Amino acid sequence: MSTYKKILLALDLSNESEQLREKARTIAEANGAALYAIHVIEPLSFAYGGDVPMDLTSIQEQLDDHAKQKLQKFSDSIGYPIEGQLVVTGHTETEIHRIADEYNIDLIIVGSHGRHGIALLLGSTANGVLHGANCDVLAVRIIDDED
């Protein structure tokens, strides 16, 4: 097994992200790795196809601030030093790949909901991260609240 020196933990900051905490800490501790945490915010304009008749800048800034606070809280609770907390705006998979390349990440840890049927055909964030990464990817099975 290769030794991981730099690990990127990709979080959506939902309550289900808590399920990744122990796995990330255990792997980082076992490898003595630098641990980074990332949360990607898709721009509000993506949701509306970029055709919004108002300025969303202040709302986007509020989303960024809220995400930074939640990421800080998560990082404080992990029980392992976090080298970097990154909140970035863009397409989720693209930004995770960009940061992984920029920081020379050896392992990306991402949650996977294990969707079935049509959701599986449409793809998931974990699947997108896996297929474009230049490093190992660990997709941790997330148990949904309704499971």
Which runs of E-coded beta strand occur in the chain?
6-10, 34-41, 82-89, 107-112, 136-141
Q: 126-129: list long-range contacts, CB under 8 Å, 24+ apart.
A: 128/92, 128/93, 129/10, 129/92, 129/93, 129/96, 129/97
Of 7-11, 128-132, 134-138, the least confident: 128-132
Q: In the chain, what are the domains?
A: 6-141 (3.40.50.620)
First to last CA, the chain: 32
Say what the pTM is: 0.84
pLDDT digits (tens, 9 = 90+) for 22-33: 999 999 999 999
CA–CA separation, 12 and 132 (whole Å): 19
pLDDT digits (tens, 9 = 90+) for 53-71: 566 678 878 889 999 999 9
- The answer to whether the CB of 8 falls within 8 A of the CB of 100 is yes
